[in-house]
Amino acid sequence: MTDPLVAVRPWEAPEVTSWGRLPMNAVDRRPGALSLDGEWRFQLLPAPDAAVVGTWSTAHVPGAWTLQDTDDRPQYTNVRMPFAEFPPQAPAANPTGVYERELDVPADWAGRRVVLQVGAAESVLLVHVDGRPVGISKDSHLAAEFDLTEVVRPGERSVLRLTVVKWSDASHIEDQDHWWHGGITRPVLLYATDPLYLADVTVRARRDGGLRVDCAVRDHDGALPDGWYVTGDLDGELLAQDAEFDRFNAEDDRVSDFLGEARIHATVPEARTWNAEQPELYGLTVRLHRADGTVADTSYHRVGFRDVEIAGRDLLVNGERVFIRGVNRHDFHPLTGRTVSYDDMRADLVVLKRFGFNAIRTSHYPNDPALYDLADELGFYVVDEADIESHDHAHEIADDPRHLNAFVDRVSRMVLRDKNHPSVIIWSLGNESDYGANHDAAAGWVRRHDPTRPIQYEGAAKRGWADPHVASDIACPMYAPLEDCVAHALSGEQTKPLIECEYSHAMGNSNGTLADHWAAIESTPGLQGGFIWEFWDHGILQRVSDGRPVGRTGAGLYDNGVASPGHRWAYGGDFGEALHDGAFVADGMVFPDRTPKPAMYEHREIAAPVRIRCFRHEGIVLANHQHFRGLDWLTGTWELALADGRTLTGPAELPELCPGETAAVPLPFEVPADGGEAWLTLRVTTAADQAWAPAGTEICAPQIRIRAADTPRRPVPAGPAVEVDGEGLLLHPLLTAAPALSLWRAPTDNDELGGTARRWRAWGLDSLVRKVVSLHHEQDQVTVVAEYAGTTGVVRHRQEFTAVEGGIRVDELAEVPEEFDDVARVGSVFETVAGLDLLEWFGQGPWESYPDRAAGAPVGHHLVPVDELFTPYLRPQESGGRHGVRRFTLSAPDATGLAVELDEPRQVSVTRYRAEDLTAVTHHDQLVPRAGCVVHIDAAHRGLGTASCGPDTFPSYLVAPGVHRWSWTLRVR
């Protein structure tokens, strides 16, 4: 007999979005539910209509089978679908997972309504109990519920089968930029209710204390019984005593014998309002009573009193214009893919909170329900995004009526699930799906159901940022040039808030000009922030020996962003797939193990709640850059770094400042008259435990220079003669490779994908040929002039080596021809002997920084082992640089080594790798560190930008042709 669920072939029927699935609602049934997670019997079939055989393996639920040692491996594509079929077709080779387990329904559930909840399944779910068809669901990122009351018997055992079909018509609208998986990726639950139950609860809590609770009531047995009623309490106080209570009568056109509605109105005096800085929550319990007063059902909600509105071109929270310091976030884990535990989600948000983020866009689908609970608790503004992305076939699908039901279904179910979360301030209709009638239909449903929140959709906004006739209430462009955003805000034509849904693409060594963006945002009315792409590098932990993902057993095989020996972070193409988009999946602000990349410190500083505005004779002017909170939750320490090596510290007393206020505070100590250049840093920490940070956690470190550097004095010539070889290369006992000209860097992802590296290679900058033009000796000086020939141009390089007391001064000049109009760097590179393993420097740090990403690295005295200077971006590339270095030393354990003094603050890097070492490999397990150090001193270094997906760096951060001069002094310690 043909299975009726299989007979309708739902994997290729776009008109079938569900069958037998219960309506979505906002009643949380997780508390008290029976978990069905764990090991299930499992078979992976080649197609959904293939026969189940007698041999079973096991699979863990929740979890993707693509990460559980099956032959169906993860695959990464960005835009392209991983199969050739056009919508709505699915490929014939269609992996299908069959999950089975025994289902023991508790005997005391007799007479109750029994419901199965499958948290998420990719991409089509078929449900059977004892061979009987129960239902179908599509939508890989929202739960599906099925009423099992008629197919199970309490106290008896049944067999539950969940069949998951990987590819379907739905896959064409789930074409998000992340790994393709298959399986049941969120928890599976079984719960029971009384036949009389709360079908939905809608909570609306305003900042003035107004509270409205709408309840929908159903009865499983049919008609509603007489006499039922609803009560509620807030933080234990019964609302019904002081509240207006409505139960609509039978004549009301909003009710019927099968659906009852009740409403509670209340006003909470002096309600504590919710916002991302102070996420105040109340506990609301709603109870459904039978006529005799006994409780049939309850629903618990955490309520935040807050308003969201758009006034003109400003997005307001509780009447305040707030900056959106956001990040895009996928559900991701390097061992389990899209299956993420509560603890992991909390750790994600804790990291974001500590680095100054206040907003999340759930790219590009509704995230796990626990994430919204955590956002409510910890304080985040959430753009909740529907599970719609049809990137490869966007134009065809946007107006295709065959997909109309799917668009409305996915958007409406998201809203119904998440509508009671105060953290959710904006609904998003999806991502990169063009714009058409299907979007307008979904937007219309949202506006009718929830008029309390605005809607955004980039596909609509790109039709015109000020167009009033599109579905988006917010202009939310993607990677718009900053100058275009500023011009729009100044044009007089802006009608909507401008908040970029994606900007500053974090692929590899990236996020250049982030501080420039925020300087413009904070100073330009009409600009209100945006969302960095993205939080995670989506590297999957992989065994190098057999190329398989490690799966759930891999805990402890990575640390500080680095996979352990024998393992690596896999990206597109590493699982043998022919169609893939490479390392484009590694584009996050943190590594796959949640280790922050250096760019996180940049963001932390530009989002600092406390800023140093300026230095005056009467003291330091401090500013509170928060929207709602004072500074009483913070404390601080002053730190004065002097160029002569001294660092003075002392406690800081922060003034009482309301948001937006400034105040002058006296200098913490008398600045020594000597010591040269001086920098004052305010290290701000939490004064007491926060929900996301223990007391003493550093929040920011604003800094100001209070004394400029002395005019450097050139070292007096003295000492033994300089030695060079026949090619004019310096001979030195601590150097294994003499200082040479460098114009090349191992291309970053931005360099490669933005096309700059292609130009560099065409010019031959990666293989310059050196020829000595002249070599001139004097008593204590050697002058070498050489030409470095590329494919299309020649760079003339002059080095003047002068013996000075204790060392050698190197004066350099490079003439870069006009055809080399944008090079990576102009500077010197040399290599040292082994054993110099500790770098100490005065300059910006301690973490990596570059010319257009240096705001988060304060000037000071820093000490870091050489092996920790390199940043292990998933695809090896230029990294480890430090900006604004004045001097540095490389030391052995006995403190011997070399010291370098620079003529002015320069870009410096010290690592174990040559640029060609990094360029030649694709993963870090292929790198072999050199025993000595590779040292770069750059007169000029190109900015990073974000050109892998977005604008390149600004012209001011490019290295132009012309004459470049720099000098440095090398001494032996």
Tokens encoding 926: 């292929």
Task: Report the sign of the C-alpha dihedral through residues 744, 750, 756, 758, in that order.
Answer: positive
Is the peptide bond prior to 62 cis by the omega test (within 30 degrees of 0)? Answer: yes
**The CA-based dihedral angle spanning residues 318, 324, 325, 328, taken in that order and rounded to the nearest 10 degrees:** 120
Is residue 36 classed exposed, middle or buried when 0-12, 13-18 and 19+ CB atoms within 10 A define those classes? buried
Residue-wise DSSP of 266-303:
EE-TTPPBB-SSSB--EEEEEEEE-TTS-EEEEEEEEE
| Residue whose pair of structure tokens reads 């919204």 in the numeric block | 372
* Active site annotation includes 432: yes
Taking the C-alpha atoms of residue 379 and residue 692, their distance in angstroms, rounded to an integer, is 10
* CB neighbourhood size of 915 (10 A): 22
Residue-wise DSSP of 664-700:
EE--SSPPPSSSSSEEEEEEEEESS-BTTB-TT-EEE
Residue 620's DSSP bridge partners are 615, 665
Distances (CA, A) of 174 to 136, 149, 397, 669, 843: 17, 32, 12, 59, 47
Taking the C-alpha atoms of residue 936 and residue 958, their distance in angstroms, rounded to an integer, is 18
Tell which residue, 599, 621, 596, 601, has the closest CA to residue 611: 621
Taking the C-alpha atoms of residue 876 and residue 871, their distance in angstroms, rounded to an integer, is 9
Taking the C-alpha atoms of residue 839 and residue 856, their distance in angstroms, rounded to an integer, is 20
Tell which residue, 112, 142, 282, has the closest CA to residue 207: 282
Contacts of 492 (CB under 8 A, 6+ apart): none
Identity (one letter) of the amino acid at 545? S
Residue 800's DSSP bridge partners are 783, 811
Tell me if 913 sits within 8 A of 929, measured CB to CB: yes
Phi, psi of 489 (to 5 degrees): -65, -30
Tell me if 324 sits within 8 A of 528, measured CB to CB: yes
Is residue 466 classed exposed, middle or buried when 0-12, 13-18 and 19+ CB atoms within 10 A define those classes? middle
Taking the C-alpha atoms of residue 855 and residue 869, their distance in angstroms, rounded to an integer, is 18
Taking the C-alpha atoms of residue 344 and residue 338, their distance in angstroms, rounded to an integer, is 11
H/E stretch holding 395 reads helix 394-398
One of 122, 174, 432, 812 is an active-site residue; which one?
432
Taking the C-alpha atoms of residue 61 and residue 59, their distance in angstroms, rounded to an integer, is 6
Strands 498-505 and 527-533, bridge-based pairing: parallel
Strands 859-865 and 838-844, bridge-based pairing: antiparallel
One of 174, 500, 502, 878 is an active-site residue; which one?
502
Tell which residue, 799, 810, 742, 803, has the closest CA to residue 776: 799
Tell which residue, 549, 597, 548, 542, has the closest CA to residue 566: 542
Is residue 894 classed exposed, middle or buried when 0-12, 13-18 and 19+ CB atoms within 10 A define those classes? exposed
Taking the C-alpha atoms of residue 408 and residue 441, their distance in angstroms, rounded to an integer, is 7
* Active site annotation includes 502: yes
Tell me if 188 sits within 8 A of 61, measured CB to CB: yes
Tell which residue, 31, 410, 29, has the closest CA to residue 199: 29
Taking the C-alpha atoms of residue 937 and residue 243, their distance in angstroms, rounded to an integer, is 72
Catalytic residues: 432, 502
